Amino acid sequence: MNIPEGQASVDRPVFMVEPWCVREPELRLDRLRQSESVFTLSNGHVGLRGNLDEGEPHGLPGTYLNSFYEQRPLPHAETAYGYPESGQTVINVTNGKVIRLLVDDEPFDVRYGRVHHHERILDMRAGTLTRNVEWTSPAGRRVEVGSVRLVSLTQRAIAAICYDVEPVDEAIRIVVQSELVANEALPGGGKDPRASAILDSPLVGEEHVANGTKVLLLHRTRESGLRMAAGMAHHIEGPESMTVDTESSEDVGRLTVATRIEPGQRLRIVKYMAYGWSSQRSRPALHDQVVGALAGARQTGWDGLLMEQRDYLDAFWEGADVEVEGDAEIQQAVRFGLFHVLQAGARAERRMIPAKGLTGPGYDGHTFWDTETFVLPVLTYTAPDAAADVLAWRHMTLPLARERARQLGLRGATFPWRTIRGHECSGYWPAGTAAFHINADIADAVVRYVDVTQDAEFEREIGLEVLVETARLWRSLGHHDVGGVFRIDGVTGPDEYSAVADNNVYTNLMARRNLQEAAETAMRHPDVAERLGVDAEEAASWRDAAAAMLIPYDQRLGVHPQSEGFTNHARWDFASTKPDHYPLLLNYPYFDLYRKQVVKQADLVLALHLCGQAFTDDQKARDFAYYEALTVRDSSLSAQTQAVIAAEVGQLELAHDYLGETSLMDLHDLNRNTGDGLHLASMAGAWNGLVAGFGGMRAGDGRLRFAPRLPGGISRLTFRMRYRGSLVRVTVTAESARYDLLDGPGVKLWHHGEPFSLGGDPVELPIAQVAASAPPTQPAGREPMPRRLDPHSRDARRRMS
């Protein structure tokens, strides 16, 4: 049955909890936008939201091509030098998912007639979305409809649908219409600045062709001048008596199949779709590309595409799977997160990974620092080729980043805060241009990738230039004061509730690493460094700046201020803040947020994770406790970092709570905005919280270190990761950790600070138990939802006290 909009309880679970799939046992029209995002299929090139096959009802139609956008004006209330004048918005391209069904002239529509059964399943091993429906039309004709959808991970341009129709108890006359539809009408956007701009009819038709069972539509964007092509071809199986027609117009291509089906018969239509776009290739070239891709898919066939998809995912899961015993929701969520992170980058091939992947238009389809800081670590340790492609895309945008730096009066390169093609698209400079840390985040991702893969060619051809240009930025952005200390003033760190501050600790620590790594990498490749104009004097200036970097510390409180002077600000009045006034940015002026001690998301605490060696164990515990009381988590990025550091400082139950928040962000629609697209960094956060949190994984400089400990609600944790040619499996229980070498030459590891060599035989080592200190407090009403309640849990201890 289907649950009409407005009649279902929001709190009732939408999806079943299963280890390898996401199952929707009934159609929830009240949660349609959420399920469309969750059921998105993508390969990093093309993304298909999980809309119903018949196209209606829908929450938000969506078919996206990576980096395909329309340009729009970016107005400013007051103009000033350096403000970007135009923005870029991802657009809904030609929809090939639509397959309409008429049963004795009645359109199949779940809002009419009677739905006896409706189930959809996202299978994360097969890489498919399956739908099964049994429906009786208003005229009393009963049919079974089944579809299986995939976006190929092996044939980049291809998506396909296998669509079956069968009568239940009597012969029926059916008509199936398979369509390509451009310039679909979209629902209007709300006032939330995190949502997207809605552009009406952004595509201009250039060509439409219908031939046999094939249809092709070509369009270009009105302003950005990008050209795209979408094509479909079909294989049809059914009764001998069928009529098949094709037609096309500027914005619609249609194949129509009409037949009569007796009980025991079936009509099957396999629909192959191909997508391509370019800013440079001609219309005939794109036409031929899509025709060729369709020919390749038809030669492979439906069964062949299914087999290729399963083989690809089998290989991925062999090196990436995470097994969790004791928390079934987290088990499902971490695989769901890994699956979507893979989909976002698998075939991106030197294009970006947006904050929402290709699952929705949230944030206008832009990429941010989220990708390098939260998503790429997962790909680097599980699918490193995909991580390399994203970093190669950043390298390709260096000319635009250099131009932006010159515009700002700086040397080197300034990467954009938010973008699609490398241009700055942020219209609010305190949370955009001033957030220079993105440059160090990109450099950090380069260093991590090279450390994990030892890819010397990448380091020479791509990595060094990124490191050099970002080091030049920091050297010109900061300055040595009269005492010789190196300062970086007037910047915004990860916490967007504290803008344009001096010496943000996270920014300074990451910039210090950037400067050091640039100097060391230039020494390893002197010929490339010379070609880039790096001499000994410049490299020495980077080292000097790094050595003199100011890292503020509040001696009075015994904690690191988030930025210079932060701990002197008045605290936000959390007790008087109403629960429905979160997120604060939608209910209070930035002016008030900027001058108070209130933290949107982990900032100093993120430094504890990514720059952990700069802090003592005692400093980590004190800093974490201090910022817990200030952090409201108005950003979905925060919980995973708080989970990682809570685990490191021994607050294992709190870490488990935060892990639940980041892992279930979209499956439970915790922020009530999953309908605009998945929170890809939160998807990655499930892996980060388990592997870096409870696995205690840290790496760098050829050292892969673990310090595993589990909370009471997880009895066993097993994860796999790749490092320097070896595939390692780590199995953690409360008492011990076992390390297995699954593939590769072997590797040196560290277990709670003790080194050992992992070769042919597994190594099992004990885990010492530690007593947790009193749990820190959070702002009133902003505590994470507890994962379990027992006499040892955090909330139970509070109630008993």
Q: Of 373, 374, 375, 353, which is closest to residue 365 (Cα–Cα)? A: 353
* Sheet hosting strand 172-181, strand order edge to edge: 106-107, 99-103, 172-181, 252-261, 242-248
The two tokens of residue 520 are 């060391």
Tell me the C-alpha distance between 204 and 432, whole Å: 32
* Separation in Å, CA 240 to CA 243, 259, 670: 9, 9, 51
Which residues lie closer than 8 Å to 384 by C-beta, 6 or more apart?
Answer: 449, 452, 453, 722
Give the HSE-up count for residue 161: Cα atoms under 13 Å, Cβ half-sphere. Answer: 26
The three-class DSSP label of residue 586 is helix
Dihedral sign, Cα of residue 45, residue 51, residue 54, residue 56:
negative
Q: What angle is formed at CA 210 by the lines to CA 206 and CA 211, rounded to 5 degrees?
A: 135
- Estimate the crossing angle of helix 384-396 against helix 464-477, to 10 degrees: 50
Catalytic residue status for 496: yes
Task: Please state, in angstroms and rounded to a whole number, the distance separating the CA atoms of residues 199 and 91.
Answer: 8
Q: b/e for 334-361, b at 16 or more Cβ within 10 A?
A: bbbbbbbbbbbbbbbbebbbbbbbbbbb
Determine the Cα–Cα distance for residues 12 and 22; give it in Å rounded to an integer.
15
CA distance 716 to 3: 38
Assess contact for 283 and 230: CB atoms under 8 A: no
Give the angle 727-731-735 at the CA atoms, nearest 5°: 150
Separation of CA 740 from chain center: 29
User: Which segments of 235-371 does DSSP mark as H helices, in order?
Assistant: 283-320, 328-345, 370
> Looking at 166, 496, 538, 653, which residue is catalytic?
496
Query: Which parts of 583-725 are beta strand (E)?
Result: 596-597, 698-700, 703-706, 716-723
CA angle 293, 294, 297 (to 5 degrees): 90
Rg (CA), the chain: 27
CB-CB contact of 680 with 356 (8 Å): yes
Written as six digits, the tokens of 431 are 């949370």
Q: Quick one: how far is CA 347 from the chain centroid?
A: 14
Show which residues are catalytic.
496
